[in-house]
Amino acid sequence: MLVLVAPGQGAQTPGFLTPWLELPGVADRLTWWSAVADLDLVHYGTEADADTIRDTAIAQPLLVASGLAAALALFPHPAEAFGQVGAAAGHSVGELTVAAGTGAITAESAMALVRERGRAMAAAAQVTATSMTAVLGGEAEEVLAKIAEHGLTPANNNGPGQIVAAGTIEQLAAFQADPPAKTRLVPLSVAGAFHTEHMAPAVERMGQLAKGVSARDPRVRYISNRDGHVVHSGREVLDRIVNQIANPVRWDLCMDTMRELGVTGILELPPAGTLTGIAKRALKGVETFAFKTPDQLDQARAFVARHAEDSDPAPAASSNWRLVLAPFSGTVQRAAAVEGSVLEPGDHLGTVVSPREEQKLVAEHGGTVLEWLVEDGAAVTAGQPLIRIHPRAEVFI
């Protein structure tokens, strides 16, 4: 199974977009997205220095644009990708890259949202002097306990041996003087405490904007930063992206879900290297590919072909039906909905239960039940199709 991943802020380097402009159509596409983002992406991706592109309002649109441009170079006909990619996940702002790549929102919507996301987060960071520090090594429980002791937030949990603490400059200074045992602390060059309560004003702004964005169910299994759940609703994808701005990124749980899905290959979109590096440590035996420059296109296509062979067809469905997917591994408890039942939007379909949590399943768009694909009480895995529904006609207008 092939999983596509998109990195978050901090992965960008000066000039990293330069080679991509040599590909036909990329400069035109970036010029269009520059108009949407109200930012000269070509300039910032080719000529600007490291300090300039570290600015949140510049870095975030640059990351999303580069990831989408590379994805379109790899899959010139996006519909072909839906049958080859088994799942997709983005780290932090990379979730907007993946939302557009899986068809949950348009590229234009992603660029407009990331423009406002970057501006809103930069503004929120000006209210209080905050930052972030990477904690490398140590025992996870001890690291988390020490972070809490200093009033900090574990803003990114990136798996074994890598947790990022975030909070005020004073809190981080005290943390630096009293680190967890057997760890190395690395202050990050970022403009604020992202994915913490300090970003609440940005959530409010983005929530207002997201209400007007059209969303469709993703055509590929979408793995959410919040908890590693597979999300099949486009509206929920968008809501989660908005709320994630002020909540920790659980990349460790995303990787757990990839493992459950049976991932064999992870391809990281540019500016690549960060997430494949994490995967090499956390997902032993899984082949990785850091897609950095266009001269790797033939290698990237070969990598896709090698790992797409065992991928399931795109789970989202056709224009005639929709699938409801299991958000995580557990047991299904079916509700009264049976074949032929007519459902209203939001009707209860059943529940997926695990020892750790449970989640209700709903018919987001309403429609008619075509068939259940699992028996009541059956054990299911993350992303497994559970029920097929013929949606209400207005969904496709």
Q: Which pLDDT does position 353 carry in this prediction?
A: 94
Pairing of strands 265-268, 385-390: unpaired
Rounded CA separation 200/217 (Å): 27
Q: Tell me which CATH homologous superfamily contains domain 2-124+197-308.
A: Malonyl-Coenzyme A Acyl Carrier Protein, domain 2 (3.40.366.10)
Report the sign of the C-alpha dihedral through residues 55, 57, 60, 61, in that order: negative
- Domain boundaries in the chain? 2-124+197-308, 126-187, 322-396
- The torsion region of residue 84 among left (phi > 0), alpha (psi -120 to 50) and beta comes to alpha
In the sheet with 347-353, reading across from the earlier edge strand, the strands are 358-363, 347-353, 330-334, 379-380
Report the sign of the C-alpha dihedral through residues 29, 241, 158, 195, in that order: positive
Pairing of strands 2-6, 153-157: unpaired
Beta bridge partners of 3: 87, 266
| Fold entry, domain 126-187 | Alpha-Beta Plaits (3.30.70)
C-alpha neighbours within 13 Å on the C-beta side of residue 170: 2
Beta bridge partners of 362: 348
Report the sign of the C-alpha dihedral through residues 293, 258, 256, 152, in that order: positive
At 288-321, the pLDDT tens digits run: 999 999 999 999 999 999 999 654 544 554 556 7
Q: Which two tokens stand for residue 301?
A: 């296509």
Q: Exposed, middle or buried: residue 41 (CB in 10 Å: 0-12, 13-18, 19+)?
A: buried
- Write out residues in the chain with pLDDT < 70, as ranges: 309-320, 392-397
Residue pair 164/252 in contact (Cβ under 8 Å)? The answer is: no
- The torsion region of residue 213 among left (phi > 0), alpha (psi -120 to 50) and beta comes to beta
Q: What amino acid positions are annotated as catalytic residues? A: 92, 195
Q: Give the predicted TM-score (pTM) of the model.
A: 0.88
Residue pair 182/159 in contact (Cβ under 8 Å)? The answer is: no
Residue 3 identity (one-letter amino acid): V
Q: Which pLDDT does position 309 carry in this prediction?
A: 64
By percentage, how much of the chain surpasses pLDDT 70? 95
At 105-150, the pLDDT tens digits run: 999 999 999 999 999 999 999 999 999 999 999 999 999 999 999 9
CB within 8 Å of 305: residues ≥ 6 apart: 84
Give the residue from 234, 303, 284 showing the smallest Cα distance to 95. Answer: 234
Q: Which pLDDT does position 321 carry in this prediction?
A: 77
Rounded CA separation 246/244 (Å): 5
Residue pair 169/76 in contact (Cβ under 8 Å)? The answer is: no
SS3 assignment, position 4: strand
Q: Which pLDDT does position 393 carry in this prediction?
A: 57
- CATH annotation of 322-396: 2.40.50.100
